[in-house]
């Protein structure tokens, strides 16, 4: 067993992922750590004066604060939040087709930033960090937007799209930064922070 395998297999903490997101569950599983999933239902509201990365940092901590059980000494709760930031405003999850269409029309032909913040909370310690990626969309055709929204229902995704979905295949020119951060979890940073914790 090499040292990395040993570090992951013998990781001294029980990880608890407080997320409804299947993408976050899949990414954490792919890192190799065992974890329990305990989704948290938190109203994703935040003070109106927050900008860019301040929003997901606030929401990741708000989700961690909503965890009801007392954390044991050997447990780490992981919560996260992702927003799309374009033209000086935040794009969260679209409520319906019309909202999703407006979002994708705004992102079309432009660069936007995706901020994901993660909060790690232990019994006596808490750390919060974020990553940012720049995503460049081609000019999307109306029929591409409508086809995507009708067939892929991206209503649980910030900005109204999933980078790993059809729209990502046909619509994204390039990404500067982490692809996985755009999916909803900056796994490189998470791995490093867990090892430090």
Listing DSSP states for 84-100 in one string gives EEETTEEE---SSHHHH
Query: What φ, ψ does residue 29 adopt, rounded to 5°?
Result: -60, -40
Active site residue 81: yes
- Which of 34, 49, 69, 81 is catalytic? The answer is 81
- Neighbouring CB atoms inside 10 A of 49's CB total 6
Q: What stretches of the chain adopt beta strand conformation (E)?
A: 14-17, 35-37, 75-86, 89-91, 111-121, 126-137, 172-176
d(CA 196, CA 54): 23
Catalytic annotation, residues: 81
């Amino acid at each position: 067993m090499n040292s990395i395998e040993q570090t992951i297999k013998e990781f001294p903490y029980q990880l608890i992922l407080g997320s409804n997101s299947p993408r976050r569950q899949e990414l954490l599983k792919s890192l190799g750590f065992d974890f329990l999933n305990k989704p948290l239902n938190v109203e994703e509201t935040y003070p109106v004066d927050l900008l860019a990365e301040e929003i997901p940092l606030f929401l990741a901590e708000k989700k961690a604060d909503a965890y009801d059980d007392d954390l044991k000494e050997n447990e780490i709760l992981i919560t996260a939040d992702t927003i799309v930031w374009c033209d000086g405003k935040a794009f969260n999850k679209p409520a319906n087709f019309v909202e999703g269409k407006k979002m994708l029309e705004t992102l079309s032909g432009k660069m936007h930033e995706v901020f994901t913040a993660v909060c790690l909370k232990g019994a006596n310690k808490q750390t919060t960090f974020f990553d940012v990626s720049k995503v460049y969309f081609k000019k999307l055709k109306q029929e591409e937007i409508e086809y995507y929204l009708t067939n892929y229902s991206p209503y649980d995704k910030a900005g109204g799209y999933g980078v790993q979905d059809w729209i990502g295949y046909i619509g994204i020119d390039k990404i500067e930064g982490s692809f996985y951060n755009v999916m909803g979890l900056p796994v490189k940073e998470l791995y490093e922070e867990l090892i430090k914790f």
